[in-house]
Amino acid sequence: MKETIYQTVCPGCGIGCGLYIRENGNGSVSIDFLKSSPVNLGKLCRFGMKLPYYYSRPASSKTEGVVSGAEEAVKAAASRLKNAGKIAMLSAGNTTCEEHIAFTRLAETLGTVVHTGIPVYQELPSECHPHLEGMPLAEIENAEKIVLFIDPYVQYPLLVRRLLVARRNGAHIISAGTKELHLAHENRDLSPEQYAELELDSNSVIIADVHPHTESCHTKQLLNLALETGARIHFMKPFINSEGANRLARDKAGMMGISHIMDEIEKGDIKTLFLLDSDPLEMMPDSDRTANALNKLDNLIVISSRDSPITEIANVVIATEPLYRKRGTFINAEGKLRENSGQEVAGIDAMSLLSRELGSEGFEYRQMHGYLHERMIETLANENRKPEYGIMQCAPVQHNGACILKYLFNPFMWANQPDDNDFVLLNMNMVRSLKLRKGGMVRLDSEKGSMKMRYRVERVPDGMILTARKLQVATGTNTTVKVEGC
């Protein structure tokens, strides 16, 4: 009857909801609600509620595709890395700060940097970088006006309650995203030239996000809006420790976006990819194209706490303990440091051994945590900074012509997770013009193929089809499609 309880943080999105994971005597896990967590009061979204499934597939170490011991996998990784040419290292923020720091140590030994996969850091002037940090979520509740460039219901569900509190406190909420939101007073489809109509001022908050597929032009336009109006800007981040990983990066401008990395792999410029709890097959919109690109690598080395599509095809997998058991900390989207109660350090130990195998010094958890504390003052200072950047010019990518299938990007994208969001959103005009039957299907044709999907009617712009999960026919976050009723 012995149960083990871990106090941890949801590995879903950057909000960092506190919860308990209960390991039952028979090895299964269940969740319990950490009601004293100030971030979420014990509340969880659909993803958090499904964590037992997420945690049901622990990773196994593999050497050359065959299950092996972790030490053997570390040695195989070392031998591949020693002989590798240009190495790209990616840690998107799905693990603890301490593991991320250890990975950065390995990058130093290997003479490279750790990328977090978010392209805007490379594409925006460095004086903008501090303004990409999140602000305390509680402050959203006191804003007078809030403009949303995200869909909180789908992308960051635990933001909804903050917005509802703000609304009850008198905030005027405008949705400037692609979909009509129930909690908004106004739902507006605005072009950047019309942003002045929002009439923002210093009591306003702009909420957007930066993720692996954010178009930097959009981010620039929002930073311009904040600069011109004095409004505060809050950027959500997709993964549990995206904020931590990005704040800890020393050379943000040198960090590549994940699409850029994949392009270089496709071109054959990068031959070795070394990943820490980051799966491009899950993160990239087109899994097939990504799988083809990864096939071109000489070395695919993965450190992972869970089984995912990338661990199936990697040359070497170094398995670590599940996230909830790790000793370590996370920095959530508002800059709050959250700590696991778990005490396991297999991930750090494996990286330390790898460091020694590569001819450098080993390290311990304590040192990684100590480094975090040294950087803490810098990393956690997220007060309302005065902008030091100027107005930026940019030309948005035009999507002309046919219908656009658009990813309503959410951190989970439901890769490998059971969920019943297997439908697309389209508007009534499209339903009428295609004569779609209620309860019927819509056919989507792209250059990659064809598929039928159920649909739901929403107020989205004409010609737009939204999806909250990855679809086979998608070639990017925006895919030109032909649609037919069926």
**Rule CB under 8 A: which residues touch other proteins?**
1-3, 5, 7, 20, 22, 32-38, 40-46, 48-49, 153, 157-158, 160-161, 164-165, 182-183, 420-423, 438, 454-457
Closer residue to other proteins in complex, CB, 138/253 = 138
Residue 375: is it exposed, middle or buried by C-beta count within 10 angstroms (0-12/13-18/19+)?
middle
Count of all residues that appear for the chain in the document: 486
Cβ neighbours, 10 Å, residue 200: 23
* Helix extents (H) in 381-455: 428-433
Find the shortest distance in angstroms from Cβ 477 to other proteins. Answer: 21
Q: Tell me the HSE value of 282 on the side-chain side, using a 13 A CA sphere.
A: 23
Closer Cβ to other proteins, 163 or 372, answer by number: 163
State in angstroms the smallest separation of the CB of 245 from other proteins: 25
386 vs 232: CA distance, rounded Å: 10
Provide the H-helix boundaries in 111-178.
120-123, 137-140, 152-155, 159-168
Longest Cα–Cα distance in the chain: 67
Tokens linked to 330: 């996370």
| Beta carbons of 453 and 422 less than 8 angstroms apart | yes
Tokens 């908050």 -> residue: 205
Residue 225 DSSP class: H
**Closer CB to other proteins, residue 7 or residue 68?**
7
Angle at 414 between CA 287 and CA 408, to 5 degrees: 85
SS3 (DSSP) at 368: helix
164 vs 415, beta carbon nearer other proteins? 164
Shortest distance, position 405 Cβ to other proteins, whole Å: 16
Q: Is 153 or 371 the residue whose CB approaches other proteins more closely?
A: 153
The residue (of 109 and 187) whose beta carbon lies closer to other proteins is: 187
CB of 282 to other proteins, least distance (A): 21
- Which residue, 300 or 483, is less far from other proteins as judged by CB? 483
Work out how close the CB of 461 gets to other proteins at its nearest, in angstroms, rounded to a whole number: 18
Q: Which is nearer to other proteins, 126 or 142 (CB)?
A: 142
Q: Which is nearer to other proteins, 270 or 453 (CB)?
A: 453
Distance between CA atoms of residues 54 and 81, nearest Å? 30
Q: How far is the CB of 479 from other proteins (least distance, A)?
A: 20
CB of 87 to other proteins, least distance (A): 40
Bridge-based pairing state of the strands 403-407 and 423-426: unpaired
Any idea which residue has 């909830």 for tokens? 324
> Which residues share a beta bridge with 9?
18
Distance between CA atoms of residues 430 and 253, nearest Å: 42
When the beta carbons of 38 and 401 are compared against other proteins, the nearer one is 38
Question: Cα(159)–Cα(162) distance, rounded to whole angstroms?
Answer: 5
For the CA atoms of 276, 279, 283, 286, what is the dihedral angle to 10 degrees? Answer: 150
Closest approach of other proteins to the CB of residue 175, in Å? 13
